[in-house]
Structure 1
Amino acid sequence: MSDDDLILLLQAVDTISESQQQIAEALRVIDERVETLEKIVKALVAQRLN
């Protein structure tokens, strides 16, 4: 494996790592929004039952 191949491999690993971090952040945001939606639904159900 040449030096150029190793550099390309390291760049690919960096890109994958960055992508994983972005996916993890997106999942955290989705979790927060799901929690908010759950609270809204619970409030609407409670309001409807009263």
Structure 2
Amino acid sequence: MSYRITEACEACGTCKDACPNDAIIEGDIYKIDAEKCAECGACVEECPTGAIVEE
């Protein structure tokens, strides 16, 4: 399982703060660095807009 951040992202930084592996890349819409992501789901649980989905 892997995760993707959709266009619903508001770049609030909540997912970045929640990620234990520093796998979130900042931008207008945040992205997930697949090489760093441990697929723990911490970002999914914390995202206030539901912008992070499983692929």
TM-score range, shorter chain: under 0.3
Q: Which has the higher helix share?
A: 1
Going by fraction, where is strand more abundant, 1 or 2? 2
Q: Which has the larger radius of gyration?
A: 1
What's the TM-score, normalizing by structure 1? 0.20
User: Which has the bigger relative contact order, CA under 8 A and spacing at least 6?
Assistant: 2
